[in-house]
Amino acid sequence: MQRRNVLKGAVVALGLTVSAGVFAQDKPIKIGVTGGPHAQIMEQVKKVAAKDGLNIQLVEFSDYVQPNAALAAGDLDANSYQHLPYLEAQIKDRGYKFTHIAFTVTFPMGVYSKKIKSLDQIKQGARVGVPNDPTNGGRGLLLLQAKGLIKLRPDAGLKATPLDIVENPKKIKIVELDAAQLPRSLDDLDAAAINGNYAESAGLSPTRDAIATEGPKGPYANLIAIREADKNKPWVAKLVKAYHSPEIKQYVQTTFKESVITAW
């Protein structure tokens, strides 16, 4: 009887060891985000996903370049911060083996200024900032064109650069800066085209503070990117399910109003 109890205890102990081993291998899914709304929304996604057994760990970045580099290096399992034109440009330029699994939200780009109240007040030779990466820089220039400040070559497309400007009646000087730096540079600029997430992080609201904003339709919905090799892993479907849940849609609408728009 004593030997039987000892054997039973050994089996139980072995079972605990195996269970502990399985638990130890249950590593969190690391998701890269930029500060502001992307991080705030993913914090809520983390709570929803936990109900489905998905453990998410957020890694916050302050620029647009490092989240993709970290994903490629294997330091992240996914990232949520970029729109499709930017992702496609990164894949083409850097050879990343990425794919996107879901669209998330859209942040309308706006023109902001501490010196003028409308674009009609832009003076000759004004200094106007735009992001210095190809896709967001082009987005800023297209916004300026839509508001009548400049005219671009017809074939410039989404990656327009200052070299594509063919008409500039007010001789505006385009200042290209890192997207995250633009809100802090408003004191030195007459105006700047700023991405919605960085505007929100700086306390600027597209609906309250922008002197011009993009129209509601466009190609700039943000997305969740992963490595192509991971697209069939079980956690991918759980992540999309959590992000596209009614709870997250309600959170975005309640928290950000029209400054952030769900893209699903």
Sequential DSSP letters for 34-94: ETTHHHHHHHHHHHHHHTTT--EEEEEESSSSHHHHHHHHTS-SEEEEEEHHHHHHHHHHH
Q: 8 and 100: one domain?
A: yes
What's the confidence (pLDDT) of residue 113? 98
Q: Range of 228's domain?
A: 2-107+220-262
- Which pLDDT band holds residue 247 (cuts at 50, 70, 90)? very high
pTM: 0.75
CB 120 within 8 A of CB 168: no
**Each residue of 152-166: pLDDT tens digit?**
999 999 989 999 999
Among 178, 197, 213, give the residue marking a domain's end: 213
Q: What's the mean pLDDT in 189-201?
A: 93
Q: How far apart are CA 216 and CA 242, in angstroms?
A: 25
Q: 115 and 78: one domain?
A: no
Q: 33 and 116: one domain?
A: no
- Which pLDDT band holds residue 22 (cuts at 50, 70, 90)? very low
Among 177, 192, 213, give the residue marking a domain's end: 213
Q: 47 and 121: one domain?
A: no
Q: In what helix (H) or strand (E) does residue 112 lie, and over which residues does it extend? A: strand 110-112
Beta-sheet pairing, 173-177 with 127-131: parallel
Q: 31 and 16: one domain?
A: yes
Tell me the pLDDT of the chain averaged across its residues: 90
DSSP state letter for 28: P
Q: 125 and 198: one domain?
A: yes
Q: 140 and 227: one domain?
A: no
Among 213, 229, 245, give the residue marking a domain's end: 213
Q: 160 and 132: one domain?
A: yes
Q: What's the mean pLDDT in 10-16?
A: 41
Residue type at position 237: A
Q: How far apart are CA 75 and CA 61, in angstroms?
A: 13
- The CATH number linked to 83 is 3.40.190.10
- Which pLDDT band holds residue 16 (cuts at 50, 70, 90)? very low
pLDDT of 117 > 90? The answer is yes
**Each residue of 44-102: pLDDT tens digit?**
999 999 999 999 999 999 999 999 999 999 999 999 999 999 999 999 999 999 999 99
Q: 205 and 230: one domain?
A: no
CB 108 within 8 A of CB 206: yes
Q: Domain count of the chain?
A: 2
Q: 59 and 156: one domain?
A: no
Q: How far apart are CA 216 and CA 183, in angstroms?
A: 22
Q: 53 and 128: one domain?
A: no
Q: 123 and 191: one domain?
A: yes
* Structure token digits, residue 229: 């090799």
Distance set, CA 88 to CA 159, 177, 234 (Å): 11, 21, 25
